[in-house]
């Protein structure tokens, strides 16, 4: 009886460890191969989490992205925490967050260590100038895909446009936009009943 329990327990522990390592490795790869910050990660997160691993549907990922955007902190870490928590509660959240943050931390640490030697290097400056348009495209693609998933149509297109213009031209804090959108969505839900 004790032997069966021990072997089942050991098997459970090994499975748990494999899942923790898988979460860590998944988000470490995403963090390592994404240039341009959290929003540039969205296509890779979608491909990995939704398409390959099927840890969430596209709609669930969109909801997680909305929540991650509205929380304080780094977007990439926030989204990894939510997905990790969804998979394996607190240990999954911790391993996912470490996986997402560690590559960036190590890269920045190396850059800071060698910064004095290459900060005035014209080749490095040109490389970063070349990366900028690619990062803009990496951010634009998920915006259009999210608009499709959010079912933005001719009647609702004004919401993101007015929100973006309010933030950009009028300097309105995104926090107020999020709160106003949440209040509007709640009110619309009440009226629709």
Tokens 């895909």, residue located: 145
Residue 142 neighbours by CB under 8 Å, 6+ apart = 39, 42, 43, 46
CB 96 within 8 A of CB 23: yes
Q: What is the pLDDT of residue 36?
A: 64
| Both tokens assigned to 79 | 């989204």
Mean pLDDT, to the nearest integer, of 174-191? 84
Would the pLDDT of 3 be above 60? no
Average pLDDT value for the chain? 83
Q: How far apart are CA 135 and CA 140, in angstroms?
A: 9
Q: What is the pLDDT of residue 33?
A: 79
pLDDT digits (tens, 9 = 90+) for 8-62: 878 778 888 888 899 999 999 988 877 666 677 888 888 888 999 999 888 888 8
Q: What is the pLDDT of residue 26?
A: 92
CB 99 within 8 A of CB 26: yes
Residue 106: count other Cβ atoms within 10 Å of its Cβ: 12
pLDDT digits (tens, 9 = 90+) for 159-181: 888 888 888 899 888 888 888 88
Pick the residue with more confidence: 65 or 117? 65
Residue 192 neighbours by CB under 8 Å, 6+ apart = none
């Amino acid at each position: 009886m004790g032997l069966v329990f021990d072997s089942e327990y050991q098997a459970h522990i090994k499975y748990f460890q494999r899942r923790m390592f898988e979460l860590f490795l998944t988000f470490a790869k995403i963090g390592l191969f994404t240039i341009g910050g959290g929003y540039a990660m969205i296509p890779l997160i979608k491909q990995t989490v939704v398409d390959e691993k099927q840890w969430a549907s596209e709609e669930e990922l969109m909801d997680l992205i909305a929540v991650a955007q509205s929380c304080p902190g780094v977007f990439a870490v926030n989204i990894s925490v939510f997905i990790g928590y969804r998979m394996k509660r607190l240990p999954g959240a911790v391993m996912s967050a470490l996986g997402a943050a560690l590559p960036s931390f190590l890269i920045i640490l190396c850059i800071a260590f060698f910064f004095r030697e290459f900060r005035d290097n014209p080749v490095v400056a040109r490389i970063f100038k070349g990366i900028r348009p690619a990062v803009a495209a990496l951010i634009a693609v998920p915006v259009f895909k999210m608009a499709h998933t959010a079912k933005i149509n001719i009647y609702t297109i004004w919401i993101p446009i007015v929100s973006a213009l309010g933030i950009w031209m009028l300097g309105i804090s995104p926090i107020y936009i999020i709160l106003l959108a949440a209040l509007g969505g709640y009110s619309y839900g009440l009226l629709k009943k």
